[in-house]
Structure 1
Amino acid sequence: MACTTILIGKAASYDGSTIIARNEDSPGGQFEPKKMHVVQPEEQPRTYKAVESHVTIELPEEPMRYMSVPDALPGHGIWAAAGINEANVAMTATETITSNERVLGADPLVVYRPAHGTEGEEGYEPEVVGGIGEEDMVTLVLPYIRSAREGVQRLGELLTRYGTYEMNGIAFSDVDEIWWLETVGGHHWIAKRVPDDAYVTMPNQLGIDSFDLADAEGARREHMASADLRAWMAENHLDLTFAPGSVGFAAQAEATGVADVFNPREAFGSHSDSDHVYNTPRAWYMQRCLNPSDRWDGPGAAHGPESDTIPWCRVPERKLTIEDVKYVLSAHYQGTPYDPYGKLGTEATRGLYRPIGINRNGQLAVLQIRPYLPESCRGVQWMAFGSNVFNALVPFYTNVEAAPAYLENTSERVTSESFYWANRIIAALADARFRDNSAHIERYTEKVGALGHQVLRETEAAVRDLAPEEAPAALEAANTRMADALKAETEKLLASVLYTTSLSMKNAFAMSDN
């Protein structure tokens, strides 16, 4: 599944928060309806069975309540996508990433195989269950962890035991730390702590470009990995570190053939032609926006849209905001020859690269853990549904008993009474007359965003004086206030876009036309 992720360390964010965010995009030709939902402890399964892989996993007792963004239509699994639990730990899952033939040959993916033939007859082959994947990970991990580090440890144990049928990247955050985990083959994994003063860009490609294996095997301050990672890499000749004289190539590495510090993107990732069209341009544009003083264009540019060496993380030129996150995760290469809505370049360049804000965006969850507030109101989940080019990002508190109906009522029925479907309708109408409708979208995004910050400010002034057990009801009332205002503004936008695009219909005709 195609997605885009950005992670922002607490010293790089505007208010000292940790921020993790991911677009969830449907595969080509699909549009998966999404909803927002609070999972209560009694709703959490004790025996979990995956729809995709048929794997069955016994889960711990006493799960915590957590926010989620599952698929709205039943039948093919939960796909909980993103959320914050009652311990103010956040998780996004997953960013589909790439690998290479050497890795997949050394540790094959654990793929489900259905039964073949008739049981009891010659040639019958029983079902072989698969591993865990995007469908499962939030449900299996988020209700049971009290820190980002614990999230890495729990998911790592599950991957080692059950394996996975796909390559994925998963983010965890708490008030202090952000960790990024990448699966490597069927059972192996690596995880790295995001530097506090940096941001990370992830566009469907294995991203970590420097890993301290000695730290992962020892103190685990900033790196964690499968216990046997070094031996497995050595056995399969996966480390591509050039020479014993390279930095981090210790005596132990000379004996094992694996450097203490190596580049996972080179060892485990890919640099295919399709990466240069589908993946690397997105990282290039996000970093172009957040470090604009660098040279990104022309023959002297340090990195172009097809560069294989765009950094996994870097320090931004200024502190980053929620609005920055929304902008880069809605981007369609504005100001470059690659913008499908632009006038620069040619018809060929304007469709050359896969946009970040794409028609198949299903939901965007921006998970913010704020250190300066009581634990009762520390977690906020900013949400957008549908194509990010045409929507707005709205904050909702996660320490609540239920999500607002306007965001939870998504069903198969297409209706403007649902936030998901209203956004899908607006996007389809606005795209047809992008320039005519862009001012409507900009005004809507700014008004809804400003209202969100206002509701947060006013709510928190009141909640500070409440006992912890009184806070959820007050936060739920604030969520309802936000959802009611959001519905009114979204309906106004729909009316404006419908009117503007209707004026441009090809069958327009009036008696005054000449």
Structure 2
Amino acid sequence: MINRFKCLVGLATFGMVMGTVSSASACTTVLVGKKASSDGSTMIARNEDVDTAWAKHYVFHAANSNGPTQYVSKDNHFTVDLPADQQRYTSTPDWQQEDGQDQFGEDGINGSNVAMSATESGTTNKKAQKADPFVKNGLEEQSMLDVVLPYVHSAREGVQRLGHIIETKGSAENNGVIFSDKSSIWYMEIVSGHHWAAVRVPNNKYAVIPNQTMIGNVNTKKGNYMASKNLVSFVKKHDLNGYVDGHQVNLAKAFGTNNKEDATYNRPRVWDGQRILTPSKKQSIDQKHFTMFMKPDKKISVAKVQKVLGSHFTGTKYDSNGKWAGGYRPINVPTNVESHILQIRNNVPSDIAGIQWLAMASPATSVYVPFYTNVTNTPANYQKGTDKPDNDSAYWTYKMTRVLTDPYKNKLINKDVLPVQKKVQKHLDQNLTKSDKQAESLPSDQVADYLTQCNQENADYAQKQFQKLNQKLTVDATRQTKIVQDKNL
């Protein structure tokens, strides 16, 4: 069993520093419907939080037809039969693997341009857990992407396959999972050992989701909801909160929590994301309830999603990179290990529609590199890195930017990092526009090789720019140390 502690390592330290109660979960999710986005694409995004030094890789899995296969998790011995045909897909597993088996694949896009992000860790209240306990050898986050994403052809089918596994094999944890395709986004919450529900995100709205059960009313007779078999009767039988009638329950009331820890650890992140995307709606950071799906004031771009994922209450009195106040857990934290935006575009041909925007380490001090997913491999520098610093891997280049700026917070970020971020991101965006046009002119059998080359070139360019930035930060950080010392003499 690997020693990852699934999004937990470092959070106890965070709790002591920030004055909050440490939580058994982490990560933050952003969902954007196609009519809420600036270019008509669907976007699902998430910060993955694990540890302050824990490299992630970016890998490609080729399509194959090897016949029936049984998956057995080396972590908790979860077992499931797999379909014969596996589509190509991408993922961002942990650096630490066991006998070649991916661990915590987390996010990717498959050959049908279906995107999946797994998971947004959550909590289930004690009464619901007692009624349907989690299963020790049930499906965990660490196995989820690999047993679902290669085998589904739509977002809805993703929910159905995962739901069937949970009902028949059981779940080991409370998790929120996102699926998207060019037309729709589905957000699914696994809330007990065998029960789950999912809601289709309204096309004209977005959501910011913390580590808390967020789905409210579930109407099993309507097509924009899906749920486990007998969910409603289960809630009624066990006298859980949230029962409405014979086909409706409030999932958050029945299975979730809304306590003092949620008030400091979860709800403030919803407030922060919604203030960025819908600033016209004035809300309080300490209010007890937030609407899950919101209309943005302006159509949401990839850059706007990046801004949300990099926020630490930026520009507010709660800014955790300045004079911190309030005890609230921000979206951007030192334990970010990667941040992804999975974009399925509707304004380009299908073979270049899937873009996996990937920022290694902290999104606040990194850059989102746009990676095509119709490829033959991933960049070599994204297949390297461990829990020990190195000079080659993408993860450790971007991690060092965070490390060098941390003692001085906003000072060096504003002075050194933001100008480089802006320059690099602009260059990458321009490259994407150019390579889109070039790819559209190529014969279909040449597209994947070309996109693979584009990904490597973009990865190399961005990393080289941040390596230069880190050299400058080293000098500026030591000068800043001297300034502080001189003031104290």
| Fold shared by both chains (TM-score > 0.5) | yes
Structure 1: state its 5+ residue gaps: 112-129, 216-220, 242-248, 297-303
**Mapped pair 1:41 → 2:63:** yes
Misfit runs of 4+, over 4 Å: 42-45, 506-510
User: Alignment partner for residue 307 of structure 1, among 284, 287, 312?
Assistant: 287
The aligned counterpart of 1:10 is: 34
The aligned counterpart of 1:245 is: none
User: Alignment partner for residue 19 of structure 1, among 20, 37, 43?
Assistant: 43
Residues in 1 aligned to 2:160 and 2:432: alpha-carbon distance in whole angstroms: 33
User: Alignment partner for residue 107 of structure 1, among 132, 140, 145?
Assistant: 132
1:348 to partner: Cα distance: 4.7
Q: Is the 8 A contact 1:9 1:178 kept in 2?
A: yes
User: Alignment partner for residue 199 of structure 1, among 198, 206, 212?
Assistant: 206
SS for the counterpart of 1:180 is strand
Q: How does 1:433-444 map to 2 (within 5 A)?
A: 433-438=408-413, 439-444=415-420
Aligned length: 460
1:475 to partner: Cα distance: 0.6
1:263 to partner: Cα distance: 2.4
The aligned counterpart of 1:336 is: 316
Residues in 2 aligned to 1:67 and 1:160: alpha-carbon distance in whole angstroms: 26
1:506 to partner: Cα distance: 5.3
The aligned counterpart of 1:67 is: 90
Deviation per residue, 1:97-151 (Å, 9 max, x gap): 122112111110002xxxxxxxxxxxxxxxxxx1001101100000001100000
Deviation per residue, 1:450-481 (Å, 9 max, x gap): 12211111011111122322210111111122
Aligned-residue RMSD, C-alpha:
2.1
User: Alignment partner for residue 153 of structure 1, among 152, 160, 163?
Assistant: 160
Percent identity between the two aligned chains? 35
User: Alignment partner for residue 122 of structure 2, among 85, 97, 105?
Assistant: 97
**Mapped pair 1:290 → 2:277:** yes
Residues in 1 aligned to 2:27 and 2:485: alpha-carbon distance in whole angstroms: 43
Q: How does 1:139-178 map to 2 (within 5 A)?
A: 139-178=146-185
The aligned counterpart of 1:223 is: 225
Q: How does 1:446-461 map to 2 (within 5 A)?
A: 446-461=422-437
SS for the counterpart of 1:317 is coil
User: Alignment partner for residue 502 of structure 1, among 466, 478, 484?
Assistant: 478
Q: Is the 8 A contact 1:109 1:165 kept in 2?
A: yes
1:239 to partner: Cα distance: 4.2
1:330 maps to amino acid: G
Q: Is the 8 A contact 2:317 2:325 kept in 1?
A: no
User: Alignment partner for residue 233 of structure 1, among 210, 221, 235?
Assistant: 235
Residues in 1 aligned to 2:408 and 2:322: alpha-carbon distance in whole angstroms: 13
Residues in 2 aligned to 1:106 and 1:307: alpha-carbon distance in whole angstroms: 30
Deviation per residue, 1:330-362 (Å, 9 max, x gap): 11112222112224xxx553xx11111100001
Deviation per residue, 1:142-164 (Å, 9 max, x gap): 00011000000000000001111
1:412 to partner: Cα distance: 4.5
2:129 maps to amino acid: L
**Mapped pair 1:180 → 2:204:** no
The aligned counterpart of 1:132 is: 139
Q: Is the 8 A contact 1:394 1:448 kept in 2?
A: no
TM (norm. structure 2) is 0.90
CA pair 192-435 structure 1, distance change in 2 beyond 3 A? closer
SS for the counterpart of 1:67 is strand
Structure 2: state its 5+ residue gaps: 1-6, 8-25
Residues in 1 aligned to 2:168 and 2:54: alpha-carbon distance in whole angstroms: 30
Q: Is the 8 A contact 1:399 1:475 kept in 2?
A: yes
1:37 maps to amino acid: V
Q: Is the 8 A contact 1:390 1:427 kept in 2?
A: yes
CA pair 357-509 structure 1, distance change in 2 beyond 3 A? closer
1:505 maps to amino acid: T
SS for the counterpart of 1:503 is helix
Residues in 2 aligned to 1:447 and 1:394: alpha-carbon distance in whole angstroms: 13
Residues in 1 aligned to 2:142 and 2:343: alpha-carbon distance in whole angstroms: 23
Q: Is the 8 A contact 1:384 1:393 kept in 2?
A: yes
CA pair 441-507 structure 1, distance change in 2 beyond 3 A? closer
CA pair 109-133 structure 1, distance change in 2 beyond 3 A? same
Residues in 2 aligned to 1:488 and 1:387: alpha-carbon distance in whole angstroms: 17
The aligned counterpart of 1:479 is: 455
Rg bigger for which structure? 1
Residues in 2 aligned to 1:276 and 1:93: alpha-carbon distance in whole angstroms: 24
1:389 to partner: Cα distance: 2.0
Residues in 2 aligned to 1:328 and 1:97: alpha-carbon distance in whole angstroms: 20
Q: Is the 8 A contact 1:212 1:223 kept in 2?
A: yes
1:509 to partner: Cα distance: 8.6
CA pair 332-508 structure 1, distance change in 2 beyond 3 A? closer
Residues in 2 aligned to 1:336 and 1:348: alpha-carbon distance in whole angstroms: 10
Deviation per residue, 1:57-91 (Å, 9 max, x gap): 22111101101000012249511000000111100
Deviation per residue, 1:299-327 (Å, 9 max, x gap): xxxxx223231011111111001111111
1:325 maps to amino acid: V
Deviation per residue, 1:229-272 (Å, 9 max, x gap): 1221111122435xxxxxxx6xxx3xxxx5x4442211211012
1:55 maps to amino acid: F
**Mapped pair 1:366 → 2:341:** yes
The aligned counterpart of 1:263 is: 250
